[in-house]
Structure formats: C-alpha cells, structure tokens
Amino acid sequence: MDYEKKYKEALSKAKQVYKTPYTAHWDVMKELIEHLFPELKESQDERIRKWLIRDIKQSLGDDVYNDESIHSAKEALAWLEKQGEKEPIDKVEPKFRVGDWVACNSDDLRYLLRIVSISDKEYRTEDIQGVSARPKIWYLDKHYHRWTINDAKCGDVLAGEYDDCKKPWVGIFKCISENRPQTQFDSYCFITCYRHEFITPDSCDFCNRCKGHTIRYTKPATKKQRDFLFQKMYEAGYEWDAERKELRGLSQSEETSDQEQKPTWSAEDERMLNSTIWHLRYSVNNGDMEYSAGQLEDWLESIKDRIK
C-alpha cells in the first residue's frame, strides 16, 4: 500500500473541511483534525491575526468609531486580511518529504533517519532502530541530506524492490557493482519478502543472485525489515558477524565459540599449581583439616588432567 499517497488524499479532504467548517461541534472537529494533521494547525501569528480581524469588525458593527477612525480601521482590516494570503512568519518550507530517508552531512556521524510526518516547525523521524524524534525543520535541512546508495556502508541492512516486478527484498549491502556502478550493487545475502526465501551466494549453482540489486528502488531497512531478515537468516541456519563482515553457519559459529571458551593449560597454570602444592605440604596444619594434604594434592593435580 502506498501510505504516502493515502496520507496526501486524507490531508486534501481535511483541507476542504477546513475551508467550509461545520457549524455544529466545529471546535471538537477542528481539534481532532489538527491532531491527525499537525501541518493544518494554525500558527500563533494566524490566531492573532484572526482575533484582530474579528475585533475590528465587531467594533465597526457597534459604530464606536468616528468617520476618520472608520477609514483607518477599514484600512487596517484590509491589511490584516491581506496578510492571510502570505505564509505564516514561523512556517518553514521543508526540504524533505514523508517517507524520505536522510543521512547526516558529517562523515564522522552515521545517523540515518526516516521522515514519518511533518508539522509547521518539526519533522517526526524514526532511526533504523525505530526510535522516534522531533527535530526542527531548519536543523535537519541544514545538517542532513537525502540518503543515496553512496551513503551505504559495507554491512548496512537495505530494503528494495526488483526492477522488473516491484517485489520487495531485504539484504545486507556489500559493495557497488563493478560492472554497473551507476545502477547496481551486490549483497552478502538477502531475503525475498514475497516467498520468504533466504538467498546467499551459494544458493544457486549456475549464478550468484546476490549480485546486481537495483539501486533505484533501494533504501535503508526499517527496524521491522531488519528483524525480519535476521529471523529468516537464523531459521535458515546462518548468522551475521558484523565485526568480520561475513555470513556464517550456526554450527560453524558454535564450534568457534566452543574453541574460544574451552580452557587451556598454560605455563602460568603449571607454576601456580606447583606453588599451591608446595604451600600445602609445608604450611598447612593437617590436624585441623577435613581432608589430608595428600587428598588435596591429588585434587589439584586432577584439575590439570581435566583441562588437558
């Protein structure tokens, strides 16, 4: 579903209601519309302008002005009504649109944000972990730019569509394609969202399906898309090593983990064992011990045998 299109259609209908407000319960209706569409909410400048117009019109109707004051009041009224044709002073025209992904201009900061909605002064954004924020329009427009494939780094999770059928996929970015750097890139792996098929470079005997993703329809993946990819990856028997930038089988990872955690007997262990046995033989009062020195020495020696 094209959510951006649906949102624009709903916003257009809300604007029509604003132009021809209902007389019954309009205050409640107006509050609801402004809650759903913050961009329609009147600025403080607009509220003050309308209040002044109502006040002057009421004073003209009450006939409280003399001839000179009436002329001055009508001029002021015309000027105030004309101001309504202009944009409010505090309204900033945003550079980005709903649905855009934006990246920080600084190379030292890797912030990726998705524009969820826009109000008069603020964007509502979500990062790749789904954390929401409300940055000022002027700040984001100044320090961020619309995301492109050139902002992607090795290991980033991206989401896109196939050029020919528009079917979605989610994968891990590897590099820009050597053969078609302007239009395609390669991945370490990806999941087809319509078949739930997990694809690796070894998934097919006659071609590498991880090559040649279309840049045109690609964006950073949302948290939901990232979670979906890693869930299907695990179900297929793989896991992603973010530090080494490699896809590994779960059995391989478990073996590596066992090897890393398995204790080994070192020269330092040997030295400490002999030192402990020496102190046990010459410093311990056997009469106060639950076990004999020989039993304790045998137990210490058994530690060495079990580790080896």
Query: Same domain for 107 and 66?
Result: no
pLDDT at 214: 84
Answer whether residue 27 is part of any domain. yes
| Domain count along the chain | 4
Q: Is the pLDDT assigned to residue 148 strictly greater than 80?
A: yes
Q: Is the pLDDT assigned to residue 35 strictly greater than 80?
A: no
Domain that holds residue 114: 101-147
Query: Same domain for 162 and 236?
Result: yes
Give the residue from 160, 161, 187 showing the smallest Cα distance to 173. 187
Answer whether residue 292 is part of any domain. yes
Query: Same domain for 158 and 216?
Result: yes
Answer whether residue 56 is part of any domain. yes
Query: Same domain for 170 and 255?
Result: yes
**Which residue in the block uniquely carries the two structure tokens 């973010």?**
242
How many C-beta atoms surround the C-beta of residue 201 within 10 A?
16
Query: Same domain for 210 and 234?
Result: yes
Least confident of 130-139, 154-163, 290-299: 290-299
Query: Same domain for 159 and 232?
Result: yes
Answer whether residue 279 is part of any domain. yes
pLDDT at 202: 72
State residue 222 phi and psi, 5-degree precision. Answer: -75, 170
Query: Same domain for 235 and 183?
Result: yes
pTM above 0.85, yes or no: no
Indicate the Cα dihedral angle 148, 153, 156, 161, nearest 10°: 40
Query: Same domain for 164 and 209?
Result: yes
Least confident of 83-97, 178-192, 215-229: 83-97
Answer whether residue 32 is part of any domain. yes
pLDDT at 250: 82
- Give residue 244's identity as a one-letter amino acid code: R
pLDDT at 89: 47
Higher pLDDT among residues 39 and 65, named by residue: 39
Answer whether residue 91 is part of any domain. no
Higher pLDDT among residues 298 and 138, named by residue: 138
Answer whether residue 90 is part of any domain. no
Query: Same domain for 105 and 8?
Result: no
Q: For residues 225 and 276, what is the distance between their CA atoms, to the nearest angstrom?
A: 56
Query: Same domain for 78 and 106?
Result: no
Q: Is the pLDDT assigned to residue 76 strictly greater than 70?
A: yes
Mean pLDDT of the chain: 77
Query: Same domain for 141 and 179?
Result: no
Query: Same domain for 57 and 119?
Result: no
CATH of the domain at 113: 2.30.30
Read off the pLDDT band of 51 (50, 70, 90).
Answer: confident
Mean local confidence (pLDDT), 77-87: 69
Residue 38 has which token pair? Answer: 């913050």
- pLDDT tens digit string along 266-282? 776 676 667 676 666 66
Answer whether residue 187 is part of any domain. yes
